[in-house]
């Protein structure tokens, strides 16, 4: 990741630092300065919380087909490797903007604006994405996702093995499965939840992410049964991924509006599962809140 001055915001209860490269949340610390995000150990993964746009997951053959043309795009899209402009910064709020450019139009032929707002109030960090279609006549098909990696274990003394994720609603459905290349297959994985609780263990992630493609919950709680926890709210996203690499000191809780290509998908991007379409001039808002609870 290119070096860039981090943009800091905070309250008495929580502080955050965001890298303008990718508009990526890089630090999230409690009132005592304890880090709640990944250690970004390069032996596992150097990401922190990439922004996924205009796709979520992998494309079949890294190929996006739109308007009868084919374009090459890597996993999770280009926003995470783009420099955002800092258009607002105060003690508690920062706003980042990515607009279409010659570089983006070469792989995604649509005019757009992607605005990311980070705001802290008390012990809550609110992250809000606004996706605007700047085309005059054409729709803007897109997907969007958050990908924050939280410390596993959290810095409150509980063993790693005691951490869990508790869903707000019952989630009895099977999960989607992935090919080694990250594409969706017809075969499904039985739910690993017991009573709405996911007991975290490395073996869950030996075959990549856990994927709910029609999640009922709009929030989860993460942490050990005793001690501070993180509540993650995602009211605008119908899908959820949970991922780590076995042995790593993080777990990602990823609200998505979009998903990887099915393994046999060769259709137009507008027909890809999870893609939304914005009318000319329309803006879509997708939010995620992270609250540190005692």
- Confidence at residue 187, expressed as pLDDT on a 0 to 100 scale: 87
The three state secondary structure string of the chain is CCCCCCEEEECCCEEEEEECECCEEEEEEECCCCECECCCCCCCCCCCCCEECCCCCCCHHHEEEECCEEEECCCCCCHHHCECEEEEECCCEEEEEEECCHHHHCCCCCCEEEEEEEEEECCEEEEEEEEEECCCCCCEEECEEECCEEECCCCCCCCHHHEEEEECCCCCCCEEEECCCCCEEEEEECCCCECCEEECCHHHHCCCCEEECCCCCCEEEEEECCCCEEEEECCCCCEEEEECCCCCCEEEEEEEECCCCECCCCCCHHHCCCCEEECCCCEEEEEEEEEEEC
**Residues of the domain holding 141:** 7-293
Is residue 15 in a domain?
yes
| Closest listed residue to residue 151, CA positions, set 255, 75, 228, 259 | 228
* Cα–Cα distance measured from residue 210 to residue 281, given in angstroms and rounded to the nearest whole number: 35
Token pair, residue 198, equals 């996911």
Is residue 139 in a domain?
yes
- Confidence at residue 4, expressed as pLDDT on a 0 to 100 scale: 74
* Count of Cβ atoms closer than 10 Å to residue 194 Cβ: 9
Is residue 130 in a domain?
yes
Q: What is the CATH number of the domain that holds 52?
A: 2.70.98.10
Ranges of beta strands (E only) in 181-247 are: 184-189, 197-199, 210-212, 219-224, 229-233, 239-243
Is residue 2 in a domain?
no
Please return the burial class of 6, using the count of CB atoms within 10 Å of its CB with bins 0-12, 13-18 and 19+.
middle
Averages of pLDDT over each 10 residues, the chain, 294 residues: 83 98 98 98 97 98 97 98 98 98 98 98 98 98 98 98 97 95 93 96 96 97 96 98 98 98 96 96 98 97
Is residue 1 in a domain?
no
- Confidence at residue 227, expressed as pLDDT on a 0 to 100 scale: 93
Number of domains in the chain: 1
pLDDT tens digits, one per residue of 56-108: 999 999 999 999 999 999 999 999 999 999 999 999 999 999 999 999 999 99
């Amino acid at each position: 990741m290119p070096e860039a001055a981090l943009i800091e915001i905070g309250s008495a209860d929580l502080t955050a630092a965001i890298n303008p490269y990718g508009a990526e949340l890089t630090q999230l610390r409690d009132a005592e300065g304890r880090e709640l995000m990944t250690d970004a150990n390069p032996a596992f993964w150097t990401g922190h919380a990439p922004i996924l746009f205009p796709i979520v997951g992998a494309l079949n053959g890294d190929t996006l087909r739109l308007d009868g043309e084919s374009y090459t795009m890597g996993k999770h899209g280009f926003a995470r490797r783009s420099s955002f402009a800092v258009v607002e910064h105060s003690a508690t709020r920062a706003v980042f903007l990515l607009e279409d450019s010659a570089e983006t139009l070469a792989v995604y032929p649509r005019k757009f604006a992607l605005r990311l707002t980070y705001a802290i109030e008390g012990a809550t960090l609110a992250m809000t994405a606004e996706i605007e279609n700047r085309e005059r006549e054409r729709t803007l098909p897109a997907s969007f996702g958050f990908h924050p990696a939280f410390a596993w274990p959290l810095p409150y003394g509980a063993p790693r093995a005691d951490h869990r994720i508790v869903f707000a609603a019952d989630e009895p459905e099977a999960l989607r499965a992935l090919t080694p290349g990250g594409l969706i297959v017809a075969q499904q994985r039985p739910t690993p939840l017991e009573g709405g609780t996911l007991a975290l263990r490395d073996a869950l992630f030996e075959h990549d992410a856990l994927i709910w493609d029609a999640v009922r919950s709009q929030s989860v709680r993460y942490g050990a049964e005793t001690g501070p926890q993180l509540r993650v709210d995602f009211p605008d996203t119908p899908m959820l991924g949970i991922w780590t690499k076995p042995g790593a000191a993080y777990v990602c809780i990823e609200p998505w509006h979009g998903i990887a290509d099915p393994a046999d998908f060769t259709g137009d991007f507008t027909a890809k599962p999870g893609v939304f379409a914005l009318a000319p001039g329309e803006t879509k808002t997708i939010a995620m809140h992270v609250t540190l609870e005692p």
